[in-house]
Protein backbone atom coordinates (compact mmCIF):
# COMPACT_ATOMS: atom_id res chain seq x y z
CA UNK A 1 0.00 0.00 0.00
CA UNK A 2 1.20 3.53 -0.65
CA UNK A 3 1.99 5.81 2.26
CA UNK A 4 2.15 9.13 0.49
CA UNK A 5 -0.74 10.49 -1.50
CA UNK A 6 -0.21 13.50 -3.68
CA UNK A 7 -2.70 16.21 -4.45
CA UNK A 8 -3.56 17.27 -7.07
CA UNK A 9 -3.08 14.30 -9.39
CA UNK A 10 -2.51 16.68 -12.30
CA UNK A 11 -1.69 20.38 -12.52
CA UNK A 12 -1.45 22.65 -15.55
CA UNK A 13 0.02 26.13 -15.21
CA UNK A 14 1.51 28.88 -17.35
CA UNK A 15 5.25 29.41 -17.49
CA UNK A 16 6.31 31.85 -14.79
CA UNK A 17 3.56 30.84 -12.36
CA UNK A 18 4.19 28.96 -9.13
CA UNK A 19 3.25 25.30 -8.75
CA UNK A 20 2.26 23.77 -5.42
CA UNK A 21 1.91 20.05 -4.79
CA UNK A 22 0.83 18.44 -1.57
CA UNK A 23 1.62 15.09 -0.02
CA UNK A 24 -0.09 13.37 2.88
CA UNK A 25 1.17 10.30 4.69
CA UNK A 26 -0.04 7.96 7.40
CA UNK A 27 2.69 6.93 9.82
CA UNK A 28 5.59 8.55 11.71
CA UNK A 29 8.55 9.24 9.47
CA UNK A 30 12.29 9.71 9.66
CA UNK A 31 12.37 11.90 6.55
CA UNK A 32 10.35 12.83 3.48
CA UNK A 33 11.80 13.20 0.01
CA UNK A 34 10.60 14.62 -3.30
CA UNK A 35 11.56 13.18 -6.65
CA UNK A 36 10.98 14.25 -10.24
CA UNK A 37 10.38 11.91 -13.16
CA UNK A 38 10.54 13.09 -16.73
CA UNK A 39 8.52 11.04 -19.19
CA UNK A 40 10.09 7.65 -19.80
CA UNK A 41 13.02 8.28 -17.47
CA UNK A 42 14.16 7.28 -14.00
CA UNK A 43 13.44 9.32 -10.90
CA UNK A 44 15.73 12.13 -9.84
CA UNK A 45 16.05 13.22 -6.23
CA UNK A 46 15.09 16.86 -5.58
CA UNK A 47 15.13 17.46 -1.85
CA UNK A 48 15.07 15.68 1.52
CA UNK A 49 13.49 17.10 4.67
CA UNK A 50 13.99 15.43 8.03
CA UNK A 51 11.20 14.98 10.55
CA UNK A 52 12.62 17.68 12.84
CA UNK A 53 12.73 20.27 10.05
CA UNK A 54 9.81 22.46 9.05
CA UNK A 55 11.01 24.08 5.86
CA UNK A 56 13.80 23.64 3.36
CA UNK A 57 14.86 25.50 0.22
CA UNK A 58 16.85 24.46 -2.82
CA UNK A 59 17.01 26.91 -5.70
CA UNK A 60 13.43 27.46 -6.89
CA UNK A 61 12.13 24.66 -4.68
CA UNK A 62 10.59 25.13 -1.26
CA UNK A 63 9.45 22.18 0.82
CA UNK A 64 7.46 22.35 4.03
CA UNK A 65 6.73 19.57 6.48
CA UNK A 66 3.98 19.50 9.10
CA UNK A 67 4.38 16.32 11.13
CA UNK A 68 1.30 17.09 13.24
CA UNK A 69 -0.83 16.99 10.10
CA UNK A 70 1.34 14.34 8.42
CA UNK A 71 1.64 16.45 5.32
CA UNK A 72 4.22 18.13 3.12
CA UNK A 73 4.11 20.56 0.24
CA UNK A 74 6.47 21.24 -2.65
CA UNK A 75 6.47 24.71 -4.15
CA UNK A 76 8.20 25.38 -7.46
CA UNK A 77 8.52 29.10 -8.05
CA UNK A 78 8.71 30.84 -11.44
CA UNK A 79 8.06 27.59 -13.29
CA UNK A 80 9.60 26.80 -16.65
CA UNK A 81 8.53 24.50 -19.47
CA UNK A 82 11.44 22.24 -18.45
CA UNK A 83 9.72 21.65 -15.08
CA UNK A 84 7.08 19.59 -16.88
CA UNK A 85 7.32 16.18 -15.23
CA UNK A 86 5.73 13.95 -12.60
CA UNK A 87 6.61 14.71 -9.00
CA UNK A 88 6.56 12.08 -6.26
CA UNK A 89 6.85 12.32 -2.54
CA UNK A 90 8.45 9.42 -0.69
CA UNK A 91 8.59 8.74 3.03
CA UNK A 92 11.13 6.84 5.09
CA UNK A 93 9.80 5.46 8.34
CA UNK A 94 11.52 5.56 11.71
CA UNK A 95 12.58 1.91 11.81
CA UNK A 96 14.09 1.56 8.36
CA UNK A 97 15.03 4.96 7.02
CA UNK A 98 16.78 3.46 4.01
CA UNK A 99 13.45 2.22 2.57
CA UNK A 100 11.10 4.61 0.82
CA UNK A 101 7.38 4.40 0.19
CA UNK A 102 6.29 6.43 -2.80
CA UNK A 103 3.08 8.27 -3.44
CA UNK A 104 1.19 8.11 -6.70
CA UNK A 105 2.55 11.41 -7.98
CA UNK A 106 1.44 14.75 -9.39
CA UNK A 107 1.73 15.29 -13.15
CA UNK A 108 2.79 18.89 -13.77
CA UNK A 109 2.41 20.53 -17.17
CA UNK A 110 3.99 23.95 -17.62
CA UNK A 111 2.66 25.65 -20.74
CA UNK A 112 5.07 27.97 -22.59
Partner 1 sequence: NAGVTQTPKFRVLKTGQSMTLLCAQDMNHEYMYWYRQDPGMGLRLIHYSVGEGTTAKGEVPDGYNVSRLKKQNFLLGLESAAPSQTSVYFCASSGPTGIPYEQYFGPGTRLTVT
CB of 44 to partner 1, least distance (A): 7
DSSP letter, residue 16:
T
CB of 99 to partner 1, least distance (A): 7
Residue with smaller CB distance to partner 1, 37 or 77: 37
Residue with smaller CB distance to partner 1, 18 or 104: 104
Residue with smaller CB distance to partner 1, 79 or 91: 91
Residues lying near partner 1 in the complex (CB under 8 A) are found at 1-2, 4, 30-31, 33, 40-45, 48, 50, 88, 92, 97-105
Distance in angstroms (rounded) separating the CA atoms of residues 90 and 5 = 9
Distance in angstroms (rounded) separating the CA atoms of residues 109 and 26 = 28
CB of 6 to partner 1, least distance (A): 8
Burial of 15 (0-12, 13-18, 19+ CB in 10 A): middle
Q: What is the dihedral of CA 73, 47, 89, 15, to 10 degrees?
A: 60
CB of 71 to partner 1, least distance (A): 17
Amino acid sequence: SQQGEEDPQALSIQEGENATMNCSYKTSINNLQWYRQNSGRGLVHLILIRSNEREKHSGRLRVTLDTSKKSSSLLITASRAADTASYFCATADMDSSYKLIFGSGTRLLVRP
